[in-house]
């Protein structure tokens, strides 16, 4: 290596040393520093959650702080972290099917879509479209119960059409979305 550097003129030698140092720094960053930083972020978020749990356990039942914390945790929806996309879709479909059956709604079909949601996270969602028939109170009950589904992110589309012969019956199409799972934590 030194014989090779001796043959080069000073400008080429500087460029070769610069490239070697830059390559070494890139290898160091991607093989050592980045995994450490990712793990530190995970540990930090876990620590923050544990501190919040501890403060909730230590707060007295009747204190103002306990009431604020209780109201805050009640207002924030429960959301499961995404898993593999296939499993995330199955979890959403299974929970949604249970909620639809509890509401007394007849679904004709389910159809999966990916990456066509609106908003800044459009590429990171999986959507499930349902078509069927129901009565208006049953649809309201389903929409209210959707908030309790931990895999549900939002309703992307809802279309209701009244049956001409039976005004109590509705034909509906609605699309719900869930986060797409990822094996890499960003």
Q: What is the pLDDT of residue 119?
A: 52
Domain boundary among 53, 75, 97: 75
Q: Are residues 96 and 162 in the same domain?
A: yes
Domain that holds residue 171: 85-179
pLDDT at position 3 over 70 = yes
Strand (E) positions, 78-124? Answer: 106-114
pTM exceeds 0.75 for this model: no
User: 3-class SS at 55?
Assistant: helix
Distance linking the first and last C-alpha atoms of the chain: 39
Residue 185 inside a domain? The answer is no
Residue 95 inside a domain? The answer is yes
Structural contact between residues 94 and 150, judged by C-beta atoms closer than 8 angstroms: no
Nearest to 104 by CA among 168, 152, 153, 175: 168
Domain boundary among 32, 56, 75: 75
- pLDDT top residue among 122 and 175: 175
Query: Which tens digit of pLDDT belongs to each residue from 39-97?
Result: 999 999 999 988 887 777 766 666 676 677 677 766 665 555 556 666 777 888 888 88
Q: Are residues 165 and 89 in the same domain?
A: yes
How many structural domains are present in the chain? 2
């Amino acid at each position: 290596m030194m014989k090779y550097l001796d043959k080069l003129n000073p400008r080429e030698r500087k460029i070769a040393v610069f490239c070697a140092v830059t390559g070494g720094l890139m290898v160091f960053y991607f093989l050592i520093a980045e995994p450490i930083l990712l793990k530190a972020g995970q540990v930090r978020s876990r620590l923050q959650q544990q501190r919040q749990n501890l403060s909730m356990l230590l707060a007295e039942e009747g204190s103002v702080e306990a009431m604020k914390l209780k109201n805050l945790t009640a207002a924030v929806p429960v959301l499961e972290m995404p898993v593999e996309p296939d499993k995330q879709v199955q979890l959403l479909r299974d929970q949604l099917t249970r909620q639809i059956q509890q509401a007394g709604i007849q679904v004709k079909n389910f159809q999966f879509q990916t990456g066509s949601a609106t908003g800044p996270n459009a590429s990171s969602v999986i959507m499930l479209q349902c078509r069927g028939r129901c009565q208006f109170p049953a649809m309201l009950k389903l929409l209210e119960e959707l908030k309790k589904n931990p895999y549900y992110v939002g309703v992307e589309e809802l279309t209701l059409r009244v049956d001409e012969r039976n005004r109590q019956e509705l034909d509906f199409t609605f699309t719900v979305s869930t986060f797409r799972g990822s094996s890499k934590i960003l």
